[in-house]
Structure 1
Amino acid sequence: MQIVHAPHATVRLDWLARRVEPELAPELAIVDAHHHLWDRQTGRYLAEEFGADVGCGHRIVSTVYVQCRSMMRASGPNAMKPVGEVEFANGVAAMFASGAYGPARCCEAIVGGADFSLGAELDAVLESMLQVSGGRLRGIRNPLAWHDHPDVTSSPVTPPRDRMHDPAFRHGVRTLARFGLSLDAWVYHTQLDALYELAKASPDVIVVIDHFGGPLGVGPYAGNTGKRVEIVAHWRQGLARLASLPNTRMKLGGAGLTVFGFDFAARDLPPSSEALADAWRPYFDICIELFGVNRCMFESNFPVDKGMFSYGVLWNAFKRLASGLSADEKSALFSGTAASTYRLEISGDNA
């Protein structure tokens, strides 16, 4: 298979089935801090499909649904159309809360999408989202990942180039504090300085950095080891500034996005958890060094990353990455940080 730098690698279930591993540390409680659900031309991934992945053998106790423009309202004001996605995710949460899809409380926290540039209209949108969320709305995400090179793309939606610098947008982000909501931000490493300025200007808002902070490996960032070293140095410098702000958090994952530059989907066999852990070790080590375990959390980014590896192998890879840490440190990475960030209760049978 030839790699094409499309936003997502194609999910091939027959290919994924060629790599099956026993679950490592199956007793460890996991909060999947970032996943999506959708029904699109590219494929269906709803409660049944996600439930099958969550039931793979790892102990997934809770999950966080993140904005991806699913089930937007077909009518009404444009500003209110994203309310439909929150309503949809809350409905899926109710399905899992029934126990019919297993013990995991999927979509227990919801990160919706709202246009921060709305001005006075934003309050009404957020209030509507809170009303339909069943008390599960925890944050908001806007499309932010932008690059001028055609090979650097990770979403069908391209935001304005300087969105994070827009005064109206920044005012909207600060509005989140009044509603007790966080900001999820997916940006490339070339945008980390802009995200730093945004997070610094919004000290009362928790800013969650998605997908390792987006170190790119395609287009002008593809190349030899020397180029990779230069990119990692630039990425690390940007993350260090963000880590200096107490209101920032880091999600460890998302490296199945094609913009990271890994070629796992082009191989005859899906990658093993050892291969994934080896590939991601530099990202993991730097993020833990800069943010610490109490500000980092693991995420699946499924079904986006499912084109590169299976759900079970992914969590084995994360467990290999964390194998040298203490029990308390592992607990923070796999459930504690996500629970505190998104206000989830992980206790008793779910601890």
Structure 2
Amino acid sequence: MQVVDSHIHLWDLKTHRYPWLENPGVSFVGDARDLKHDYLLDDLLGEAGDIDVKKLVHVEANHDPADPVEETRWVQSVSDRHESRGMPNAIVAAVDLSAANAPGLLEAHASFANTRGVRQILNVHDNKLFDYVGRHYMREPQWRENFALLRRYGMSFDLQLYPSQMEEAAVLARAHADTLFAVNHAGMFVDRDSVAGYRAWREGMRMLADCGNVCVKISGLAMFDHQWTVESLRPYVLETIDTFGVERTMFASNFPVDRLFGSYADLWHAYASIVDGASVAEKEALFCGNAERFYRI
């Protein structure tokens, strides 16, 4: 089967610094100690098995925050090598939009041919186990002011957050209707032990889907389901597609993070099994076309 993988990470620990991999630990997403090794393009393609990887979108991998542009420079250099076949075909770069130097960083990222957008992780949670950043960036005036600059460079925004933040994100999306948003990891439904948690995810996703400039990636589900099966993934996949529609949903692997809990081929075949009843055109959109259109690749 052929795929456009809209969410992968690469890193070279020999030449670049990734603070989270310097002294990795165990968290709800798994044991990061098992990720403390180089993960390069050949590594991903080498374990693809019978999956025909047509194109790739590289999403920032928490590179050294002191020099996020260096990650973009490196990923572009990987793409520019003849043997890489142009992969990664798109780059989602890192920038702290609350920082004074954000405008300069956006300009620098935009100078690379494959840059299509940026991501800044926004996840905040009352439970410290799940809290990523400890502050509500979307509420900060400087962050919102710099966010408006994405339009200048034609950049999209990869939206990684929790359901409790989706109402605020929908307000942001409506305020920037000319900026495209991609919800990461199917909205990161973390509070799975309560009816209220499910409702927060379902209603939050519907609020975001009501914004025509927002799409979603079905990825990262294994971070919350370490023993996943086709049947355990099925309700989240189908609910997400039902909410956003086939035309605004794309599958992705989140490799190598989700590699902790299964193989590349097994994950893609699980997705394929879940949507087996879809039409040929719908499958093409979910597995290839939507990602190509969103990231202009």
TM-score by length of 1: 0.74
Equivalent position to 1:45, from 22, 33, 39: 39
Does residue 1:124 correspond to 2:90, yes or no?
no
Compute the displacement of 1:150 (Å).
2.5
Provide, for residues 55-113 of structure 1, a one-character-per-residue CA deviation record: whole Å limited to 9, x for no partner. Answer: x221110000001123x48xxxx4xx110010011112123xx23x5x6x421100001
Q: Which residue of 1 aligns with 2:186?
A: 212
- Larger Cα-atom Rg: 1
What's the secondary structure of 1:117's corresponding residue?
coil
Runs of 4 or more off by more than 4 Å in structure 1?
none
Does residue 1:64 correspond to 2:57, yes or no?
yes
Compute the displacement of 1:176 (Å).
0.4
Compute the displacement of 1:334 (Å).
0.4
Equivalent position to 1:138, from 88, 93, 116: 116
CA contact (8 A) 2:95 2:119 kept: yes
Write the letter of the residue equivalent to 2:125. Answer: H
Write the letter of the residue equivalent to 1:335. Answer: C
Cα distance change, pair 136–231 in 1 and its aligned pair in 2 (3 A):
same
Q: Which residue of 2 aligns with 1:94?
A: 80
Task: After TM superposition, list the pairs within 5 Å mapping 1:329-348 onto structure 2.
Answer: 329-344=282-297
Range that drifts further, 246-255 or 169-178:
169-178
What's the secondary structure of 1:106's corresponding residue?
coil
Equivalent position to 1:108, from 62, 82, 89: 89
Provide, for residues 236-276 of structure 1, a one-character-per-residue CA deviation record: whole Å limited to 9, x for no partner. Answer: 1011111111110100011121xx2x241xxxxxx6xxx2x
Compute the displacement of 1:151 (Å).
2.4
Compute the displacement of 1:128 (Å).
1.4
Provide, for residues 121-150 of structure 1, a one-character-per-residue CA deviation record: whole Å limited to 9, x for no partner. Answer: 43322221222x2x1000000121121213
Q: Which residue of 2 aligns with 1:147?
A: 125
Q: Which residue of 2 aligns with 1:328?
A: 281
Write the letter of the residue equivalent to 1:201. Answer: A
Q: Which residue of 2 aligns with 1:253?
A: 219
Compute the displacement of 1:290 (Å).
1.4
Q: Which runs of 5+ in 1 are unaligned?
A: 1-25, 265-270, 345-351
Q: Which residue of 2 aligns with 1:198?
A: 172
Equivalent position to 2:136, from 162, 169, 194: 162
Q: Which runs of 5+ in 2 are unaligned?
A: 14-20, 23-35
Q: State the distance in 2 between where 1:170 and 1:160 align.
A: 17
CA contact (8 A) 1:114 1:125 kept: yes
What's the secondary structure of 1:256's corresponding residue?
helix
Q: Which residue of 2 aligns with 1:36?
A: 9
TM-score by length of 2: 0.87
CA contact (8 A) 2:117 2:155 kept: yes
Q: Which residue of 1 aligns with 2:32?
A: none
CA contact (8 A) 1:174 1:204 kept: no
Write the letter of the residue equivalent to 2:124. Answer: W
Compute the displacement of 1:294 (Å).
1.0
Compute the displacement of 1:160 (Å).
3.8
CA contact (8 A) 1:69 1:85 kept: no
Equivalent position to 2:266, from 283, 299, 313: 313
Compute the displacement of 1:222 (Å).
5.3
Equivalent position to 2:198, from 232, 257, 280: 232
CA contact (8 A) 1:173 1:202 kept: no
